[in-house]
Chains A and B, each alone.
Chain A
Amino acid sequence: MMNKDRLKFGVHLFLKNKGAVLGLTIMLIWIIIAIFTDFIAPYDPYERVGKARLAPSSEFIMGTDVIGRDVFTRVLYGSRTSLVLGLISVSFGSFFGIILGLISGYNSGTWIDTAIMRFMDALLAFPGMLLALIIIASLGPSIQNVMIAVGISTVPQFSRLTRASVLSIKEMTYVEASRVIGATDFRIIYKHIFPNIVSSLIVLATLQVGNAILVGAGLSFLGMGSQPPSPEWGLATAQGREALKKAWWISTFPGIAVLTVVMSSNLIGDGLRTALDPRMKYE
């Protein structure tokens, strides 16, 4: 398990990484925005507050959209949907992925292991967002279903990583010792195996949040996620598409918002990977 010094060293490595700090800063800003939007946003996200397609000005810093709602306000509100989507779908995917990976790794070589892993291979055989697409096709378009769909498509990554880690750890002497003195399977997993894989899981989860937000926004852009009048970023980008020539700002700003959130989660993930890498020595 990670001791206190190693943790301190990890934090030190993370903070030394300029990219990671930048990512963390951007992410914190977005989280604060998402929580306090009601106080920060200048207008109501659903109300028409000006003429349609007004260019950015001091009154509407990101202009108004196709029906005259404030783009800036809607971008701020959109952060809620995207962050919640990232968080929920990855929690969902990691929960089931970790459980399946633990079962599979702990019972390696049995038919349960084979069955679970073949099933995960099959899920991975769907390129890109196609797995999410068939799930949406069957459940119907809505942001909740996008969360489920994106969550399911992250399950194989988590289960594979967990299984691989379990396989390497369960042969360790201390795990065997624990078994010899009569520890239950649950206790061994909880006390010995889980703490050892937690750091690689955190890295994967962070990177997956960005990916989930990207896929979720893409699905909403295609009309399969959030429905109007939601200020969700992918949907907002799609709505500005028809007016792109006359009013570039309607699509551009929500897209930049997606870019910054995804980039920050990638930067944090990469920073964590270096910081938590046990090969980084701190003597």
Chain B
Amino acid sequence: MRNYILKRLGQMIPVLILVSIIIFFVMRLLPGDPISLMLAGAEGGAISAERRAELAESMGLNDPLIVQYFDWITSALRGDLGESIRMRESVSKLIGEFFASTFELSLVGLFFSLSIGLSTGIIAALKKDSWFDFLSMGLAYVGISMPIFWLGLVLILAFSFEVKWFPSAGGEGLRSLVLPGLTLGLSSAGLISRLTRSSLIEILNEDYIRTARSKGLKEQAVVMGHAMKNAMIPVVTMVGLQFGGMMAGAVVTETVFSRPGLGKVLVNGVLWMDYPLVQGIILFLAVVYMSTNLLVDISYCFIDPRIRYS
């Protein structure tokens, strides 16, 4: 198993290098120039050519791109992602400050997506072709196709304006996390529900399930003990992908609910064309996403013994 984990880690490195190259070079296609941007607010816009040259030199913008890339990536490896042009703060510090709230939101999103997705998926599979199956799969379809920003607004309308159960924006504590968490979790709940259903239905037709039933096991033991464990393998992959995706989905959710978080900072970064900020956050999120997927792959070793021994 250790070999498997090491192999997977090894495969991650070239992809990570390519990811950093893509981020860096795409950002350098930037048509605007960062110095004008940086000075637009601060020094009234009008600056001398010397001051401009001085700044470009100090920011390393005169070096060849390849040198700039190596400077950036070596600093990034040391945890220094540069300084945000607009916010005048270290990008690493900003990430540290805002990541916790995005992570928290993603966890709540994951909680909703798992609890709703798994329970409806299991019931739908066990009661295949019933009205529950029909209704929940229809709703799952709507969930998958729903624009996340719109869902957020609809939830605000229903649960903070009509009945005043939850706050519509910002706020502290668990109550303020319910609506953003639901917004983030519902579309992936749809995916998980559909996948759980189809996976479980397939497994329930296997011979070993018939054996388990014929030796007189209770239905609950058949489903929970035999079927679920095997049906969960594709679902776990999906959950891993979804969790990583949720941190990115937080971009929209945090904007809708005016929640401070990495997503909101990233959106502002893009609109301000603040490239150190954008490339830093995106690099960070890509690393988090890839690590989550790695963890999921490793977790297979525990769920599926076939992988452990191969």
A residues apposed to B, CB below 8 Å: 19, 118-119, 121-123, 125-130, 133-141, 210, 214, 217-218, 221-224, 234, 237-238, 240-241, 244-245, 248, 251-252, 254-256, 258-259, 262-263, 266-267
Which residues of chain A come closer than 8 Å to B21, judged between CB atoms?
122
Asked if B157 and A133 sit within 8 Å, CB to CB, the answer is no
The smallest beta-carbon distance between A247 and chain B, in angstroms, is 11
Query: Could you pull out 25 A-B pairs where Cβ atoms are within 8 angstroms?
Result: A125-B289, A127-B244, A127-B286, A127-B289, A128-B248, A128-B249, A128-B251, A129-B248, A130-B282, A130-B285, A133-B270, A134-B282, A137-B278, A138-B28, A139-B31, A140-B31, A140-B32, A141-B271, A234-B149, A237-B149, A252-B154, A259-B142, A259-B146, A262-B146, A266-B141
Count A-B pairs with CB separation below 8 Å.
147
B269 touches A137 (CB 8 A): yes
A69 shortest CB reach to chain B, Å: 19
Please determine whether B15 and A121 come into contact, CB atoms closer than 8 angstroms: yes
Q: Is the CB of A118 within 8 A of B18?
A: yes
Question: Does the CB pair B26–A135 fall under 8 Å?
Answer: yes
B91 at the interface (CB under 8 A from A): no
* Residue of chain B at shortest CB distance from A224: B270
Which residues of chain A are within 8 angstroms of B249 by Cβ–Cβ distance? Answer: 128
For B27, the closest partner residue in chain A by CB is A138
What's the nearest-Cβ distance from chain B to residue A243, in Å? 11
Check A218 against B148 for contact (C-beta < 8 Å): yes
Chain B at the A interface: SS class: helix
The CA-CA distance from A267 to B252 in the complex, in Å, is 25
Q: Tell me the nearest residue of chain B to A19, going by C-beta.
A: B141
Contact between chains at B247 and A223 (CB < 8 Å): no
Contacting residues, chain A, for B256 (C-beta < 8 A):
241
B147 touches A129 (CB 8 A): no
Please tell me if the beta carbons of B285 and A137 are within 8 angstroms of each other in the complex: no
Given known A130-B286, A237-B150, A266-B145, contact A245–B161 (CB-CB < 8 A): yes
Q: Which of B13-34 contact A (CB under 8 A)?
A: 14-16, 18-19, 21-23, 26-32
The 4 closest A-B pairs by CB, nearest first: A255-B150, A128-B248, A122-B18, A263-B145
List residues of chain A with CB within 8 A of the CB of B255: 221-222
Chain B hits for A130, CB < 8 A: 248, 251, 282, 285-286
A248 to B162, CA, bound (A): 11
> Is the CB–CB distance between A244 and B157 below 8 Å?
yes
Contact (A218, B285) CB under 8 Å given A134-B23, A255-B154: no
Given contacts A122-B18, A244-B156, A244-B161, contact A134 B271 (CB under 8 A): no
Shortest distance between the CB of B273 and any CB in chain A (Å)? 6
Kindly list chain A residues whose C-beta atoms are within 8 Å of the C-beta of B269: 137
The yes or no answer to B301 lying at the interface (CB within 8 A) is: no
Given contacts A134-B27, A135-B26, contact A221 B149 (CB under 8 A): yes
**Which B residues fall within an 8 A CB radius of A?**
14-16, 18-19, 21-23, 26-32, 141-142, 144-150, 153-154, 156-157, 161, 244-245, 247-249, 251-252, 255-256, 266-267, 269-271, 273, 275, 278-279, 282, 285-286, 289-290
Contact of B273 among A135, A137, A221, A234 (CB under 8 A): A137
Cα(A9)–Cα(B27), bound, Å: 49
Across the interface, do A122 and B153 meet the contact criterion of CB distance under 8 Å?
no
Taking A134-B278, A214-B145, A267-B141 as known contacts, 17 extra A-B pairs with beta carbons closer than 8 A to each other, sorted by chain A number, are A122-B19, A125-B290, A128-B248, A133-B270, A137-B275, A138-B31, A138-B275, A221-B147, A237-B147, A244-B156, A252-B150, A252-B153, A252-B154, A254-B150, A255-B147, A259-B142, A262-B145
Nearest chain B CB to A190 CB, angstrom units? 31
Contact A266/B251 with A134-B23, A139-B31 known, Cβ cut-off 8 Å = no
Cα A137 to Cα B24 in complex, Å, equals 12
Closest CB of chain B to A98's CB: distance in Å? 21
Q: Which of A137, A237, A255, A263 is the one whose CB lies under 8 Å from B142?
A: A263
Assuming A126-B282, A127-B247, A259-B145, is B29 touching A139 (CB within 8 A)? yes
Q: Is the CB of B29 within 8 A of A138?
A: yes
Tell me the bound Cα distance from A98 to B32 in angstroms.
33
A218 to B147, Cβ gap below 8 A?
yes
Q: Tell me how far the C-beta of A66 lies from the nearest C-beta in chain B, rounded to whole angstroms.
A: 14
User: In the docked arrangement, what's the CA distance between A238 and B258, Å?
Assistant: 13
